[in-house]
Structure 1
Amino acid sequence: MEKLQSPARDIHPDTRNGLHPVTLLNRNNLTLLDTGTSAEQFLQQKISNNIAQGHQDAFYVADLGDIKQKHWRFMKELPRVKPFYAVKCNSTNEVLQMLATLGTGFDCASMGEIDMVLRMGVPAADIVYANPCKQVSHIKYAAAHGVCKMTFDCEAELFKIAAFHPKAEMILRIATDDRDAWCALSSKYGALVEQCEDLLKTAKNLNIQVIGVSFHTGSGCKNTHSFCKAIEDARKVFEIGKKLGYQMRLLDIGGGFSGNSEFRPTFEEFADVIRQSLNQYFPNNKEVEIISEPGRYYVESAFTVALNIITKKEVYEKGADGNSRRKFSYILNDGVYGTFLDFYLVKEKQKLKPLLGKDFATEQELFPSNLWGPTCTNVDKLVNEFYLPELETGDWVIFPNMGAYSISMSTTFNGFPQPKVYFVLSKGDE
């Protein structure tokens, strides 16, 4: 059981600040009303207004300024690496427009994602079709629209490419040691180093151009040294490719970096290891283009979601000493079939830490509390046995760091809609 660290004194209504959502105009140009309003200020005032007006719908506050700061941080720490944002992580139009304005490329996994990015005016050269196993109709779409950079990890994919996109520039994805990651992607994708020569020979026989190597150390990677081995292996595959006559010129180091400031190792610690490994195995800046596929890193901390308590239940439970203790169950208006599906899928490795939408005295008694989503299933549980002060129906509960795989994975099961998103552009240090 966890106790509330601080009764969310930093989340409270502040009627002195007005609401200034960001205005975004057309899909090719990002036009922002930069009021300097912080996401926290907007959130506080939005809750205050909702209470006054009797509105209970869940909502997000998204800070595009946070995304901008993450980009400058990325470029500072990894100056040799161009980020190709993983569209799958959060594909809201405003996020994609901001990243396009900042000059990132885009990692797309399907025809739908490619179409979404192309419609914003992003050139095909700034897209990598980074799904190693692709449907033929999606390959045809990529070919028709000039998207040439694509990944593969097996022979079957090469035959499809030869038949339907012979001008493709293929990137061989290799497996990594990602056992410490939340999502061990190498259990599904990536060729072993010892398989790569045969794959490259098959590509040569099919007259397919291979331009480089990619890998992914897993989403939520916890081991910085996974990058050391992966970059070393990539160098080995580069040499195999060169011996076969390929012009190996691109290295894709994947993504998986967290955007949560509490995550360890920090992004700076990962970046330090990556820089050292790149300098050791790919020392010539002009020889190889290096890209990455960050998703969580850019958007995780930019989005905060505010939920309303729609029902309060009080339960008395007998403890080991025979005495009864008070417990509470609160039903909220969003859950694991909506915003929190990603947390449910990796719940053994991540724990939600709610904040509260009103102040409580530090000496206030805390009770074991369960937080549930609104659907009619018993698996729709967000938080188990978390110590909170006694709350009431209509109170607000806040969850920060909700930008990654929340909106993009959300369903409308039981007819519950996705929360509305309000965008702000906070000012920060450049």
Structure 2
Amino acid sequence: MQPEGDFYLITASWVFSESGWLEGGAIIFDPEKGEAICAGDRRDLKRSWGIQSAKIRDYPGCALFPALVNGHTHLELSAHSLIEADDYFTWVRRLIRLRSQLPMDQVVEAFRRELRKVWQCGTCLVGDITNIPILKEEEGEKLPYRHVFWELLGFNVYDIYDALKEDQRRYFLDGRFTRHISLVPHAVYSTSSRLISQTYRWCRSRGRPFTIHIGEHPDEREFMLTGKGACRELLEELGRWVPGWEPPGVSPVKYLESRKVLDSKTLLIHCIHFDDNDWQIVRSHGSHLCFCLRSNEFLKVGRPDIVKAYELGIPVLFGTDSLASSPDLNMFREIASVIDCYRDLHPDGVLKSASFTAFRFFTGNTRMPYLLVSPEGSASRDTITETVIESGVKGKIRWLEEDFVLEE
């Protein structure tokens, strides 16, 4: 059954759909919501949707494709530029110190500035990690949809109630929350097992996605196997260590499986230090992975095996992480880096992951905003994806909805 609305048929020389590029294809576009309902052959769509000639708009020589999704970022860190460090935990310590010194008005200003830039760069949705309640979008602006992952920390905290401040308790536990917020843990070495399980149940009981950092650095695995190393040293330094805690003696991924928090609405972030068993566990539970390549390389923590994820059929998303570890929050630059570093990956698959796959994970559908680009020179089936991504890197894109004037 077709939805009701005042729809238009938008045609272009190239249209990207979930099945790939359609040469001379089209989309059914809802200008009121600014989203495409479906894509396909222009003649078939015109006939099946009963579109009249007055409701057809053609963009010859142009490419239409869905906006991108930033699966993982920390907009609250937007006031920080790249924080240089020799190793991951030196970076963490510097970040903690710098955050404590930054006035909140600067945090808010940078947050709003970068959120606007994210939209201007062609990103329609962000998975944003935060625990600062003051960070809210300004009313009336056209901005990306922001799914907030409200992050809880506390290796020595065992209950959501205790992990939240008093004003936050009323907001989350008394039901005064919106549908675009999830309560989530940070990582297995910074959040207690009980808190990990409780946040997962909180998300599942409300139909929210669940996320956790995993496999970002090798020290995490050492900590879970032996209880020693850099993770323990940081916990002791912060006064979060629990005397008498016994390591589970398994990999971080196996540990999450034992906590029963892996399923198709779980998003695992970074996923660099996985062994073969970890990959099979993730695959068996249908969990999604989000890779942040440029951040990983800046922090010198290793490079994820993204090719293996695709080979195993594991759903993949991409994210930028924060400006504290990434040069920008531009998703076109992020996926361009992925394509450049992993020549065995098909660019179409990367573009699909950064758009349709990611959008469906967060929203359950693929009725997405679309972008419009006029490729420089001629484009062929073999070059159109990289041509479009290059245009995005250069900022030569525009939102279809902004190019659209509703008829009176």
Instruction: Name whichever structure is richer in helix by fraction.
Output: 2
Fold conserved (TM > 0.5)? Answer: no
Higher relative contact order (CA 8 A, sep 6+): 1
Identify the TM-score tier after normalising by the shorter chain.
Answer: 0.3 to 0.5
TM-score with structure 1 setting the length? 0.32
Bigger Cα Rg: 1
